[in-house]
Chain A
Amino acid sequence: MGAIPLDKFNLNRFWEKTPTPLKYVLIFTILLATSYFIISKKMDDNHVTELNSMKKGIAATYELIDNFEEFRKEQDSYNKEVLSYLDDLHELVDELNTTTNRKLDMILNSGSQNTDQIIEKILLLNESFDKLSKIYKEDLQIPNLDDNKAPKKDYSFDFYPVDDKNRPIDKDGNLLPVDKDGYPIQVKPQDSTKKK
């Protein structure tokens, strides 16, 4: 194995014996490589990051559409259930009304006769009451839409003070900037009576 004679190496002599155009080419190459690694790499990284964020955005859009489909189905079923509930309730009220009226007519017309028939009708009336009671007690399945809701903004502030002209002021009595509805900007009152 031959040892490299580094002690004899002289950079000045090495550089001296290199052709001048080659020196320029080497300097140019070094500058080019530096600028390539600084500028081009950074641009490539930015492109890759941008493409990845676009991919995420596309996936998020599909997910949003899927969530909307679920919401649509749940809301649709809930709305139909409410409509059916209202129809049934209306029908029962009508039925109860008819039965009651008929029963009252029977009682009025019968006097003290036909006691069994009157009892039967009263039982029928009670049955209708039971049905109505069941409908009232039957809970509607309210869809759980919490996951699809946008996050609520926190408007839990204290009431803001107002001056004698009902304009919002801060603690030092200075007028606060208001929006088009007359509310102080970024301050929403919890009490509707405070609204101008």
Chain B
Amino acid sequence: MEKKKWSTPQAIIVMIIIFIIFAYIGVDAFRTKPQIKRDLIEVKGQYVELSDFLDSKVPEIDSTFKEHAQQISDQKEQINILQGTFSELEKE
């Protein structure tokens, strides 16, 4: 009796439903996951590229700040010299 049930239309319908559900999950998984993986690889590549870029850029930024500090220090020195000259002229 139980053996006969496997060939009934009801059993076939249920099997088709199960197959459709698994097929949908499978298709969705195989479509979504590779897309995420591609995005992940792309972002990883960009991140590595950015990391390399920053490795070369950060010392440049650091030296820029030092250069600006030096320029401001030079300006201060020039202003002091100028003030000294003015003071000397006032004394004269």
In angstroms, Cα B49 to Cα A65, docked, is 14
Cross-chain contact A19 with B2 (CB below 8 angstroms): yes
In angstroms, Cα B33 to Cα A40, docked, is 10
User: Which residue from A32, A76, A82, A90 sits with its C-beta under 8 Å from B25?
Assistant: A32
CB distance from A111 to the nearest CB of B (A): 23
Interface residues on A, range: 35 or more
Interface residues on B, range: 35 or more
Cross-chain contact A29 with B75 (CB below 8 angstroms): no
Cross-chain contact B39 with A51 (CB below 8 angstroms): yes
In angstroms, Cα B92 to Cα A93, docked, is 14
CB distance from B33 to the nearest CB of A (A): 8
Q: Does A99 contact B (CB under 8 A)?
A: no
Per-residue CB contact flags for chain B residues 1-34 toward chain A (1 = under 8 Å, else 0) read: 0100110101100110110011011000100110
Cross-chain contact B67 with A76 (CB below 8 angstroms): yes
Scan residues 48-80 of chain A and give those whose CB is less than 8 A from a CB of chain B. Answer: 48, 51, 54-55, 58, 61-62, 65, 68, 72, 75-76, 79-80
Give the residues in chain B near A86, CB-CB below 8 Å: 75, 78-79, 82
Scan residues 34-60 of chain B and give those whose CB is less than 8 A from a CB of chain A. Answer: 36, 39-40, 43, 46-47, 50, 53-54, 57
Binding site for B on A (CB under 8 A): 14-15, 17-20, 22-23, 25-26, 29-30, 32-33, 36, 40, 44, 47-48, 51, 54-55, 58, 61-62, 65, 68, 72, 75-76, 79-80, 82-83, 86-87, 89-90, 93-94, 97
Q: Which 6 residue pairs spanning A and B have beta carbons closest together? A: A79-B71, A86-B78, A19-B5, A17-B10, A51-B39, A18-B10
- 30 residue pairs of the A-B complex, CB under 8 angstroms, read A17-B5, A18-B11, A18-B14, A19-B2, A22-B11, A22-B15, A23-B14, A26-B18, A29-B17, A29-B18, A32-B21, A32-B25, A33-B24, A44-B32, A47-B36, A47-B40, A48-B39, A51-B39, A51-B43, A58-B46, A61-B50, A61-B54, A62-B50, A76-B68, A83-B74, A83-B75, A86-B79, A89-B82, A90-B81, A97-B89
